[in-house]
Structure 1
């Protein structure tokens, strides 16, 4: 009887100790502590920044290739976390895209430094830590960011064992729509590399940025800011998170942003007053109507034009099809936005 009472008391102490540690863990990670009623109803946190994504079973030839592709990028993929005092605010993935003898430059999402509850504002004096591919931590410093494209550039100390990803222009032609793509991420706490495969879609993203393209790769929030590569290992774009698909900013737009950062310190984005989309992303009725007038048509479809905008003053109307721009044949909306 005496032993049972002692055991019961010991178990109660461990439970309280566990609750205390859990509260501290939630607070330091920036998560809300679930209430007693929420826990009693079986509610729990979802879409955390520790949630992995990895749909590779290790047996098929396709998955073996995906693992090899992800491994080839591993020395260029890091994870980052931002802290306000000792409380973590955000974690995401980043890509080393420039490696100098004295510093490394990392591409990631501007969500790393956005204010919680007000994404239009950015937090000053956040501490940024970079989890390197070998698991070691380094101090990061925010260099530039752009809220429209949701990109940020972070710099950190150079390490010889890592290298910058080879980022160059990629043509978004019909061949790219037929090849496998691989979305890559890295967990901040564990440092583990993650990968998910998918295909490019003729689809506009639901996120508020018409330059975004969409792939069928499924990632978690831990993969935000990570690289998307093709079957040849070419860098295709930077990933964002959506529940059932992966929106990404194509490399052509990223390269344009880099150039603007270096020349003027900010991204200059002219407002043309139109929204365009790939022809293949339109409804079948629209495609049929265009095909009747132009049987061999190709190009991009003008979905909307604002009254009085530069596009409207140039004579562009909703429902128009733009096949070339400055002599360049067009196949997707991002080509237009890049040229302009």
Structure 2
């Protein structure tokens, strides 16, 4: 099977996927409401594949969080938020891989060329731009109430969504981690709940969900609530899903779009904003690739 292959135009929930020859059931027993909510967000969930020179580098998921108005050439510019692991040097160093190229696979299997717009290895976030001849779907975003409201200065058009009023997430609340399979391009869903616990990474703003994505290929995808609103960006741990609240991700995005980097002061500021959550949810450790 090729690394990139033409997808069936029909999209569906991907119930089983393989890891080292084993078949995993990603969402056994998922109720009808959860399936419908996941399918609602599905059009904005993409698969990204990176190359360095002629070598395959990394595959992950991402979310189209913004789409601009129609430009003079008739195209629409989309902004994808995903993991910076997509761009990291093969050696694992926190630096951009040389001669990097990014392919973006949409819901229907259409392949677009991605442009590396910005990245930050501390928060393990990257911003990829794409151009499409049709408007790109974007999801609803929802702040977690531990952080202050986000006000962006958009560089794209007015069709881009903004995080809505915050809501309080409680331990035991149902959440779902979404990703897009890089061969079949079908949607992968892992259901779980928000939990109080420690994430063993050095990014103190990471929170934790019990969803289990069994490979790294789905990091960078969205974490959603029961209303189908994106509340975070997923990363990877073999026993749970660490996630960065969309509040912090969007603050990063604001800096990245304007400055192409996140200033060091920003880390301290967000640590203070999340200091109460940090004492519950975070732990010192090695960030690695999440």
TM superposition score category, shorter chain reference: 0.7 to 0.9
Listed one character per residue, the Cα deviations across residues 248-301 of structure 1 (whole Å, up to 9, x for unaligned) are 11111011111212333321232659x8899xxxxxxxxxxxxxxxxxxxx838
Q: Which has the larger radius of gyration?
A: 1
Hey, what does 1:230 align to over in structure 2? 225
2:194 is the alignment partner of 1:200: yes
Calculate the TM-score normalised by the size of structure 1: 0.63
Aligned match for 2:82, one of 108, 121, 136: 108
Unaligned runs of 5+ in 2: 5-17, 71-75, 147-166, 283-290
Contact 2:52 2:98 in 1 (8 A): no
Question: Does 1:64 pair with 2:32?
Answer: yes
Q: Where do 5+ consecutive residues of structure 1 fail to align?
A: 1-21, 30-45, 279-298, 304-330, 334-340
> For 1:214-253, what aligned pairs fall within 5 Å after superposition?
214-219=208-213, 220-253=215-248
SS in 2 for 1:300: helix
**Greater relative contact order (CA < 8 Å, ≥ 6 in sequence):** 2
Selected match of 1:129 from 103, 120, 124 = 103
Residues 170 and 132 of structure 1, relative CA distance in 2, 3 Å threshold:
same
1:54/1:194 contact within 8 Å kept = no
Distance change (3 Å), C-alpha of 1:82 and 1:74 = same
Where does residue 276 of structure 2 map in the other structure?
Answer: 300
Matches of 1:161 and 1:73, distance apart in 2: 15
Q: Is the 8 A contact 1:53 1:195 kept in 2?
A: no
* 1:263 lines up with 2:272 in the alignment: no
Instruction: Give the SS at the match of 1:114.
Output: coil
Distance change >3 Å, CA 272–CA 98, structure 1 → 2: closer
Q: Deviations over 1:157-186 (max 9, x none)?
A: 124263122234232565443421010000
Aligned to 1:34: none
Match among 104, 108, 116 for residue 142 of structure 1: 116
> Using the alignment, how far apart are the partners of 1:257 and 1:175 within structure 2?
21
Q: Which has the higher strand share?
A: 2
Distance 1:88 1:276, change over 3 A: same
Q: CA RMSD in A?
A: 3.2
Which has the larger share of helix? 1
Q: Is the 8 A contact 1:53 1:196 kept in 2?
A: no
SS of the aligned residue for 2:118 comes to strand
Larger mean Cα displacement after TM superposition, 161-170 or 242-251: 161-170
Distance 2:212 2:107 in 1: 22
Task: Report the CA distance between 1:110 and its aligned residue.
Answer: 0.4
Q: What TM-score, normalized by structure 2, do the two folds share?
A: 0.73
- Which residue of 2 is the match for residue 8 of structure 1? none
CA spacing shift, 1:73–1:120, aligned 2, 3 Å: same
Give me the whole-angstrom Cα distance separating, in 2, the residues matched to 1:242 and 1:128.
24
Instruction: Provide the C-alpha distance between the structure 2 equivalents of 1:69 and 1:302, rounded to a whole number of angstroms.
Output: 29
- What pairs up with 1:5-154 in 2 under 5 angstroms? 54-57=25-28, 60=29, 62-100=30-68, 101=70, 102-154=76-128
Note the alpha carbon deviations across 1:116-140, whole angstroms, 9 max, x for none.
Answer: 1223121132111011100111111
Cα displacement (A) at 1:87: 2.2
Alpha-carbon offset, residue 199 of structure 1: 0.7
Change (3 A) 1:107 1:53: farther
